[in-house]
Structure 1
Amino acid sequence: MDANALVTGPRTLPGQAGAARPAVTELRLSAYRRHRGAALPLGPMTLFTGVSGSGKSSALEAYEALALLGAGHDLKTAFPQAAECVPEGARPDRQGRRGFGIGCTVDGPAGPVRLDLAVEAVPRLRVVGERLTSGGRTLLATALRDPGRAEVEAAWHTSGAAGVTRGRLPGDRLGTALLPLHVAGRTQAQLRVLAAAEQVVLALRSVFACDPRPHRMREPVAAGPGRLRRGCDNLAEVLHRTRSECGKRHARLAAAARAGCAGTVTDLCVEELRDGTVRALLARGDSRPGTPLGRLGEGELRYLALALVLLTGPGVLSVDQVAEVPAAYQSLTVLADGFDRCLDPAQARELVGLAAEMCARGHIRLVGAVSDPSCARGTEGVSVVDLMP
């Protein structure tokens, strides 16, 4: 189900400030791959670090899975290899079931809201429990009462003598994202439930997972109004678009190219070829036509791709935002595994500084992973979280 139909706009209760952008401030991995009982704080810019095997990539993977569920996707889409998400050595229950648990906290106009999810991965992928809480009150609770059914039993906070409304929700979806279809919003209690649910969905949906693949970025690509894909393989197409749409940001990108690429760089250009494709070039300020990006090293290509991501926005990146909600209520979160991969120390420091600047402005939030945290230590506005194996 597409969650575009589920979220109609941010709701606030009397006395609440309505301008704050919802943001995930904590990622919880209660039992996920190598993680047990982990509570990872997230600021405007957070970088995970640690030795190989400490769980940097799996933490980002869990965040992306929550984002997919918040957007209305099913469990199979969010966890394509669900059995591998079960912690090693986890014992099955009496019915032979094994699973994992993840969650997050989202701050925003409705105050801190906690979402916790328990998933059965073996023998069948499905939700076995979900809990949405705020201000010490449980707003939604689901449980798998009958293993033979595809639905879970759900109870959400409401008004009246009973205090809760009961029903069934699909066992392969995030119940929080479905609440706007089931809660009328006529009473203050119902509005509280909707405000909390919609805050979580807004924070989770606006995510762009980025992992530039240099070997896919070297060839010319078809020109068009496309948006930057996860692997940044259509970098030249997007540069062709952004160069004419926003001269100020393009100039900032050219400045980043000068700081992070070898030689004297004066501009980033796009050349239209006879076959209708385009290729990007680094202008060197002399009579030469420029250096095609295809000739650059992997580090320079990753650096340029990540700089482009940081300097653009939802209209340029391939991200599924909530069209019905004003941009002032939304915050784009970039997930960047291997943020410093292939980069030399100077490139890594330059990119961290650029990211910190953009995050401080409130344009984006960034959650990434680095192998060498020295590029970020001491940078204002950057939180470095050390993960232990």
Structure 2
Amino acid sequence: MPRPTVEELRLTAFKSYRRAVLPLAPLTVLHGPAGVGKSNALDALAVLSRLALGEEIADSLDGLPDRTGPLASPVRGGLNGCVPHGRDAVILGCTVRSPRGRIRLDLVIRTDGPARIARESLSLDGRTLVDTGEQDVRNRRVNVCWHNDTRQGDIRAPFPSGTMITAQLPLRVAGSSGGERLVLAATEDLLTALREVFPLHPVPALMRGWARADPQARLRTNAANISAVVNRLSNECPRRYGRLLRAVQAAAPHPLLGLTLAERESGGVRRVLAVFDEGVLGRTGADQASDGMLRHLAFAAVLLTGAGVLDLDVAAEVPWAHRQLTVLAEDLGAGLSIEQTASL
């Protein structure tokens, strides 16, 4: 049974893109000269992932610095940076492949005034399940119609327009008919796929610091707390830790005996630092390791361990077997050899 996975991204009006369609495979490589828009495409999928969490649009894209998790920092450029020059709207969409078929989401976000959903639709294999209608801009409401296969016909109700409509459906649709249950099932598949998106852009300068030891450490998108995550893996799952060690050993330019941790305590706080044990060549801490080794360690940790150790707000109510992680790897080959990149 296929897990819900994003298989197409539509950038109708987003940053530098106009009417672009990007098909996604199990491995999709974006390449081209600097400034062509590779990062913008990754940002588009990250925006959809953030909106799927159900927070206000502005908060989702500008960040909530007083919170932890994927919304703690803004998407690149924030809300205003997502709007194409000379426009006052963002138009995005995606298609998710699921066991029920292909689920298509399209949305228009207006930014002339408070950010709001001006149009949103959800369909399954070409059949419209949810669509929006008339707006009440002053009260920030929009009429929503969703599929219902009873004699009553489709159901209409006003929704807050400051939040993605699809993210609100699980709390608004009763599921009392087969049609409504189909709406909820398609909604769950779409939100599951989008919430399992993890943007990863390791920043070696931030990865070199000592990290506070935390048995529940979750890797941030910049991998600044990589040492805490390595410490967690070493204590929690020897099998995954062993796989990570073998991947790092295969990528190392010198024989590597182990991936260990240095520890120190200050003010009652235990801190850790990842250490590459190079045998007779000595031990190299993350604070002295090369950019390439640190970036490779971060990418390998994500690809080999999965969403459980990532700073994601996943659909925890959905079994692991029905979820599929999507990694947005920024500058995957930066600082790495061809062989190291190929191994990832």
Instruction: Give TM-score scaled by structure 2 length.
Output: 0.89
CA distance in 2 between counterparts of 1:280 and 1:65 reads 32
**Is 1:278 aligned to 2:272, yes or no?**
yes
Structure 1 residue 165: deviation in Å? 0.8
Query: CA distance change for structure 1 residues 119 and 287 in 2, over 3 Å: closer, same or farther?
Result: closer
CA distance in 1 between counterparts of 2:297 and 2:150 reads 57
Structure 1 residue 161: deviation in Å? 4.2
Q: 1:88 aligns with which of 64, 77, 85?
A: 85
Q: 2:227 aligns with which of 210, 220, 236?
A: 236
1:337-357, CA deviations, whole angstroms, 9 ceiling, x for partnerless residues? 111222232322222xxxxxx
Ranked by relative contact order (alpha carbons within 8 Å, sequence separation 6 or more), the top structure is: 1
Structure 1 residue 287: deviation in Å? 8.3
CA distance in 1 between counterparts of 2:104 and 2:127 reads 10
1:60-80, CA deviations, whole angstroms, 9 ceiling, x for partnerless residues? 111111111112122113333
Q: 1:41 aligns with which of 5, 8, 23?
A: 23
CA distance in 1 between counterparts of 2:210 and 2:36 reads 38
**Structure 2 contact 8–22 (Cα < 8 Å) conserved:** yes
**Is 1:168 aligned to 2:158, yes or no?**
yes
CA distance in 2 between counterparts of 1:21 and 1:101 reads 26
1:287-327, CA deviations, whole angstroms, 9 ceiling, x for partnerless residues? 84x11121112122111111111111222111111222211
Query: CA distance change for structure 1 residues 174 and 267 in 2, over 3 Å: closer, same or farther?
Result: same
Aligned CA RMSD, in angstroms, stands at: 1.8
**Structure 1 contact 120–128 (Cα < 8 Å) conserved:** yes
Partner of 1:294: 287
Describe the SS at the equivalent of 2:250.
Answer: helix
CA distance in 1 between counterparts of 2:285 and 2:229 reads 15
Describe the SS at the equivalent of 1:149.
Answer: coil
Number of residue pairs aligned between Structure 1 and Structure 2: 325
Among all aligned residue pairs of Structure 1 and Structure 2, give the percentage whose two residues are the same amino acid: 39
1:117-167, CA deviations, whole angstroms, 9 ceiling, x for partnerless residues? 001022331110001111322111113533322111111111344531111
CA distance in 2 between counterparts of 1:30 and 1:162 reads 35
Structure 1 residue 25: deviation in Å? 0.7
Amino acid at match of 1:348: T
CA distance in 2 between counterparts of 1:198 and 1:104 reads 15
CA distance in 2 between counterparts of 1:146 and 1:224 reads 47
Structure 1 residue 84: deviation in Å? 2.7
Q: 1:101 aligns with which of 91, 106, 115?
A: 91
Describe the SS at the equivalent of 1:305.
Answer: helix
Query: CA distance change for structure 1 residues 292 and 170 in 2, over 3 Å: closer, same or farther?
Result: same
Structure 1 residue 257: deviation in Å? 1.8
Q: 1:215 aligns with which of 205, 212, 217?
A: 205
User: 5+ unaligned residues in a row in structure 2: which ranges?
Assistant: 63-77
Q: Which moved more, 1:198-207 or 1:252-261?
A: 252-261
Amino acid at match of 2:136: D
1:87-140, CA deviations, whole angstroms, 9 ceiling, x for partnerless residues? 2344xxxxxxx2120000011122101000001022331110001111322111
User: 5+ unaligned residues in a row in structure 1: which ranges?
Assistant: 1-18, 91-97, 352-389
CA distance in 1 between counterparts of 2:131 and 2:61 reads 22
Task: Give matches, 1:1-389, under 5 Å.
Answer: 19-80=1-62, 81-90=78-87, 98-161=88-151, 163-225=153-215, 226-275=217-266, 276-286=270-280, 288=282, 290-351=283-344
CA distance in 2 between counterparts of 1:73 and 1:274 reads 38
Amino acid at match of 1:135: D
Q: Which moved more, 1:107-116 or 1:279-288?
A: 279-288
Describe the SS at the equivalent of 1:229.
Answer: coil
Describe the SS at the equivalent of 1:306.
Answer: helix
Query: CA distance change for structure 1 residues 171 and 216 in 2, over 3 Å: closer, same or farther?
Result: same
Q: Which moved more, 1:23-32 or 1:48-57?
A: 48-57
Amino acid at match of 2:275: L
Describe the SS at the equivalent of 2:188.
Answer: helix
CA distance in 2 between counterparts of 1:335 and 1:343 reads 17
Instruction: Give TM-score scaled by structure 1 length.
Output: 0.79
CA distance in 2 between counterparts of 1:228 and 1:79 reads 20
**Structure 1 contact 127–144 (Cα < 8 Å) conserved:** no
CA distance in 1 between counterparts of 2:210 and 2:230 reads 12
Describe the SS at the equivalent of 1:122.
Answer: coil
Describe the SS at the equivalent of 1:302.
Answer: helix
**Structure 2 contact 50–61 (Cα < 8 Å) conserved:** no
CA distance in 1 between counterparts of 2:184 and 2:42 reads 27
**Structure 1 contact 83–122 (Cα < 8 Å) conserved:** no
**Structure 2 contact 133–145 (Cα < 8 Å) conserved:** no
CA distance in 2 between counterparts of 1:180 and 1:246 reads 34
Describe the SS at the equivalent of 1:105.
Answer: strand
1:210-252, CA deviations, whole angstroms, 9 ceiling, x for partnerless residues? 1111111112222221111221111111111211322232222
Describe the SS at the equivalent of 2:181.
Answer: helix
Query: CA distance change for structure 1 residues 339 and 143 in 2, over 3 Å: closer, same or farther?
Result: farther
